[in-house]
């Protein structure tokens, strides 16, 4: 082997030095990343809790939050807006300007609905156009505007249901455990992600098919696990789907709505069919309606169909087809409104006409309504009762005479799921997704069959 000369060694050392310096310089340039953008582009957003069920003679105030580009002086935006409102669901709208209040804890901008409109026999419908007077940006709430306004229905002759104080610990055990899997990535497992520092997430949603097959969205492993006819089947999705929601159709095809608001449709074997963004910025729940997937969205606070006859709808089409009513299995619809911290109003409607209603009050705070679905001629509601350090689910079976049955079930959610994905009702059984440090379970509670 020939010994290297001095010139060769110097050349090598120079090359090494130049390489390191050049590399550091290049990395520093790339580390600087994109040009900083310190000024926000003009943006506008909004929030509004609609008044979908009103009592006779009740004053109605509509409140809005208008959200704009942050100002350099740290003050809230110069907003304004107009509510367009009409009695019933047809005819011309009347414009009511929003007033600007001193406090924004429930929305700074408001209008009091004139009594003749608020007490109209057919209720009222309305939408708002909200503006940032500084930038000129505007937004319609709900997104469909005049084509798909928010509706408010009078709740007359409602049955009063007084729940009293919730007794924690008096819970019903399930009648059966229909699915169970331990944590892991094997074919029989369900995936677990997170840590003690971050919290844990596991299967984020589930559904039950009419034939009793149970489908669990194994979000971490990016697949659907199906329990059917005594067998386990795994359907890969191709990517994780953490905190996503799942709805399965009667033929086994299914839809997955991911955290970023993209709805993906698959056939029963997991072959992708289409993908579409939902219309609004925030989604609440995915369900299957009579003609395809529907998604409860915000700030519109409406159910929006995401597809029609198997074809996805554009975001504008979703907004134009939005409705406040949630479709029920019995062919009717339900309107639902949480009132204050301890109240809940429901009305079963058909074609916009109220059939019967319930006014529920509790001495214990009520959180989210996880489920409202028909069981024959009854409505089953699952709502969470909570204090600052305890929570359980109340299962209420509502009939024409009022409260037909009730029981409580433990919360038992060790991992985070999609927000309203803990319960499903299929025929005469209520199913619950439950996780513990050891495993995931799907439990079944058999309900009394209505006569």
Ranges within 339-378 binding another protein (CB under 8 A): 341, 344, 365-369
**Contacting range for another protein; rule: CB under 8 A; set: 7-15, 121-129, 204-212, 271-279:** 7-15
Residues 373 to 432: which contact another protein by CB under 8 A?
383-386, 388-391, 411, 413, 419-420
Query: By CB under 8 A, what part of segment 245-264 binds another protein?
Result: 259-260
Q: Which is nearer to another protein, 192 or 344 (CB)?
A: 344
Q: Which C-beta is closer to another protein: that of 122 or that of 391?
A: 391
Candidates 1, 2, 6, 38; binder of another protein (CB under 8 A) is 38
Residue identified by tokens 């120079």 is 14
| Residue from 1, 2, 3, 28 binding another protein (CB under 8 A) | 28
Binder of another protein out of 243, 321, 395, 396 (CB under 8 A): 243
Q: Which stretch binds another protein (CB under 8 A): 9-17, 223-231, 351-359, 436-444?
A: 9-17
Our CB check for another protein shows the closer of 31 and 121 to be 31
Site for another protein in 139-198 (CB under 8 A): 195-198
Residue 108 gets the label, from left (phi > 0), alpha (psi -120 to 50) or beta, of alpha
Shortest reach from residue 282's CB to another protein, in Å: 5
Residues 427, 428, 430, 431, Cα dihedral to 10°: -60
One DSSP character per residue, 224-290 reads EEEEETTEEEEEE-SS--TT-EEEE-TTS-EEEE-TTSEEEEE-TT--EEEEEE-SSSEEEEEEEET
Closer to another protein by Cβ: residue 213 or 344? 344
Which positions from 52 to 91 touch another protein by CB under 8 A, shown as an x/- string? Answer: x------------xxxxxxx--xxxx--------------
We find the least distance from the C-beta atom of residue 133 to another protein, in angstroms, to be 14
| Cβ atoms < 10 Å from Cβ of 328 | 17
> What minimum distance in Å lies between the beta carbon of 326 and another protein?
9
Map residue 7 onto helix, strand or coil. helix
User: Between 18 and 115, whose beta carbon lies closer to another protein?
Assistant: 18
Yes or no: say if 308 and 293 are a contact pair by the CB < 8 Å rule.
no
Which CB sits closer to another protein, 150 or 440? 150
Tell me how far apart the terminal alpha carbons of the chain are, to the nearest angstrom. Answer: 98
The DSSP H or E segment spanning 326 is strand 326-327
Please give the DSSP secondary-structure letter assigned to residue 9.
Answer: H
Minimum separation from the CB atom of position 389 to another protein (A): 6
Q: Using CB under 8 A, pick the residue from 1, 2, 3, 36 that binds another protein.
A: 36
Binding-site size for another protein (CB under 8 A) equals 97
What residues contact residue 26 under an 8 Å CB cut-off, 6+ apart? none
Nearer of residues 7 and 231 to another protein, judged by Cβ: 7
DSSP string over 108-121:
SEEEEPPHHHHT-T
Shortest separation between residue 40's beta carbon and another protein, angstroms: 4
Minimum CB–partner distance for residue 296 and another protein (Å): 7
CB atoms under 10 Å from CB of 345, counted, come to: 22
User: Among 40, 167, 316, 355, which residue interacts with another protein (rule: CB under 8 A)?
Assistant: 40
Sheet containing 214-218: order of strands:
205-208, 214-218, 223-228, 231-236
Q: Which is nearer to another protein, 228 or 410 (CB)?
A: 410
Q: What is the DSSP letter of 15?
A: H
Measured CA to CA, the distance from residue 67 to residue 143 in angstroms comes to 15
Cβ nearer to another protein, comparing 233 with 394: 394
Closest distance to another protein from the beta carbon of 292 (Å): 21
Shortest spacing between CB 248 and another protein, in angstroms: 21
Closest CA to 214 of 445, 449, 443: 443
Q: Which stretch binds another protein (CB under 8 A): 202-210, 228-236, 333-341, 397-405?
A: 333-341
Beta bridge partners of 278: none
Closer of 75 and 95 to another protein (Cβ)? 75
Contact 355, 379 (CB under 8 A): no
Q: Which of 268, 298, 361, 428 binds another protein (CB under 8 A)?
A: 298
Q: Which DSSP string corresponds to 386-419?
A: E-SS-EEEEEEEEETTEEEEEEEEE--B-SB--T
Q: Which of 81, 107, 123, 354 binds another protein (CB under 8 A)?
A: 107
CA angle 377, 381, 384 (to 5 degrees): 170
- Verify binding: residue 42, another protein, rule CB under 8 A: no
Burial of 154 (0-12, 13-18, 19+ CB in 10 A): buried
Q: Sort 100 into a burial class: Cβ within 10 Å, 0-12 / 13-18 / 19+.
A: middle
Asked whether position 229 contacts another protein by CB under 8 A, the answer is: no
């Amino acid at each position: 082997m020939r010994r290297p000369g001095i010139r060769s060694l110097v050349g090598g050392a120079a090359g090494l030095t130049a390489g390191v310096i050049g590399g550091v310089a290049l990395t520093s340039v790339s580390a600087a990343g994109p040009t900083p953008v310190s000024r926000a582009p003009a943006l506008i957003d909004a929030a509004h809790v609609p008044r979908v069920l009103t009592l006779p003679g009740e004053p109605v105030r509509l409140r809005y939050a208008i959200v704009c580009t942050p100002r350099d002086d740290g003050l809230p935006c110069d907003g304004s807006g107009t509510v367009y409102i009409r009695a019933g669901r047809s005819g011309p709208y009347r414009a009511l300007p929003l007033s600007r209040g001193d406090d924004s804890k429930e929305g700074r901008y408001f209008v009091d609905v004139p009594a003749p409109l608020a007490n109209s026999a057919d209720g009222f419908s309305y939408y708002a156009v909200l503006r940032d007077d500084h930038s000129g940006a505007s937004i319609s709430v709900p997104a469909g505007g005049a084509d798909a306004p928010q509706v408010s229905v009078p709740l007359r002759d409602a049955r009063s249901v007084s729940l009293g104080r919730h007794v924690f610990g008096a819970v019903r055990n399930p009648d059966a455990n229909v699915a169970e899997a331990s944590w892991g990535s094997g074919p029989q497992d369900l995936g677990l992600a997170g840590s003690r520092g971050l919290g844990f997430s596991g299967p984020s949603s589930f559904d039950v098919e009419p034939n009793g097959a149970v489908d669990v969205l194994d979000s971490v492993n990016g697949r659907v696990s199906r329990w059917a006819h005594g067998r386990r089947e795994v359907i890969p999705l191709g990517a994780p789907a953490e905190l996503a929601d799942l709805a399965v159709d009667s033929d086994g095809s299914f839809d997955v709505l991911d955290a970023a608001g993209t709805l993906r449709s698959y056939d029963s074997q997991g072959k992708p069919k289409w993908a579409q963004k939902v219309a609004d910025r925030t989604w609440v729940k995915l369900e299957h309606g009579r003609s395809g997937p529907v998604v409860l969205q915000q700030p519109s606070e409406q159910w929006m169909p995401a597809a029609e006859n198997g074809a996805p709808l554009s975001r504008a089409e979703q907004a134009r087809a939005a409705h406040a009513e949630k479709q029920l299995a019995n062919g009717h619809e339900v309107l639902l409104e949480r009132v204050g911290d301890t109240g809940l109003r429901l009305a079963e409607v058909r074609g916009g006409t109220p059939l019967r209603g319930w006014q529920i009050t509790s001495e214990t705070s009520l959180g989210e309504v996880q489920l409202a679905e028909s069981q024959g001629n009854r409505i089953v509601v699952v709502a969470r009762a909570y204090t600052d350090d305890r929570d359980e689910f109340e299962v209420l079976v509502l009939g024409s005479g009022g409260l037909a049955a009730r029981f409580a079930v433990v919360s038992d959610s060790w991992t985070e799921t999609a927000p309203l994905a803990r319960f499903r009702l299929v025929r005469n059984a209520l199913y619950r997704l439950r996780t513990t440090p050891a495993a995931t379970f799907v439990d079944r509670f058999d309900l009394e069959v209505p006569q």
